[in-house]
Amino acid sequence: MTQYIIRRILQAFLVMLGVTFLVFIVMFQAGDPVILMASPDASAEEIENLRRNLGLDRPWYIQYADFLGGAVQGDFGNSLRQGQPVFNLVMERIPATLQLAASAFVFSVVISIPVGVISATRRNTIYDNLAMGFALLGQSLPVFFLGVMLIWIFGFVFGWLPSAGRGDPDLVSRMRHLILPAITLGTFSLAQNARLVRSSLLEVLGLDYVKTARAKGISEYHVIMRHALRNALIPVVTVIGIQFGALLGGAVITETVFAWPGIGRLLIQAINQQDFPLAVGAVTIIALIFVVLNLIVDLTYGFLDPRVRYS
């Protein structure tokens, strides 16, 4: 188990190193932020002085090494536009993103498992065909299109729900503003999980021990709930654990569509403004959360199933 843990931690470290390197290189080649920061009538000497003061006149590999050294200590530098520490700006937005991702996660899990179970137990019925048809549609719709359609239907046509922002601090306002973004972000995961639950449960229902339980006269409800579902959910739990990290990254588009004040929207603003330190810092923190969550899932799964450790 110790070797398995060390191997997974090393893999997580290499993933983080690769992510930061790729993002740093892409942002380095995206343009010169000094030109955008300088006044239109700034002379070449003033622009060069500004570049030198910001440390952007050094080779990219030196800038990258400095970035890594600071990132290890939680120092991602200051935003070129706002002049505040990148870490503080990102931390201010993380609660909103976590709230959105957690809501989408709960929405997808609570609905997908019953839908998948009922679909598997009523295979080839009208319900099964409709459920899997909607699941396929949910996986096919682009997030931005689904978000715009929900805004148009529930925000403008019926006027039932707010279409932008996070709302006032009170609970009711926050919940009303959260409904549409959470549905938009969680629909793909819901559809994916429902199909996975169905296929996994159908596979388990065909195993010998389930047939034996039925032959003993155990009711179908108890066969499914006590014998089949527990084993059928093992691969589902693995996917669900990884999905929460994916929801954090996928929140970028959803936050932009709904003007949700999270880290994803902050990242888009940083890219549009060519705020180099803020963009790299935001991506790094998002990637770190994703990698840590995946690491926890891997270690948990390895602890529960020894075959994973020795494979």
Q: What is the pLDDT of residue 30?
A: 64
Residue 112 phi/psi, 5° resolution?
Answer: -65, -40
pLDDT per residue as tens digits for the range 221-280: 778 877 788 788 878 877 887 788 778 877 888 999 998 998 888 988 888 887 888 888
pLDDT per residue as tens digits for the range 194-222: 999 999 988 888 877 877 877 877 777 77
pLDDT per residue as tens digits for the range 79-91: 877 888 888 999 9
The secondary element (H helix, E strand) that includes residue 148 is: helix 143-150
Task: Please state the length of the chain.
Answer: 311
Nearest to 28 by CA among 58, 53, 50: 58
Q: Is the pLDDT of residue 172 over 90?
A: no
Query: The pTM is what?
Result: 0.80
Q: Is the pLDDT of residue 149 over 70?
A: yes
Q: What percent of the chain has pLDDT over 70?
A: 92
- Averaged confidence pLDDT in the chain: 83
Residue ranges of domains in the chain, CATH in brackets: 93-310 (1.10.3720.10)
Percent helix, strand and coil across the chain, each to the nearest 5: 80, 0, 20
- Kindly indicate the confidence band of residue 33, based on its pLDDT and cuts at 50, 70 and 90: low
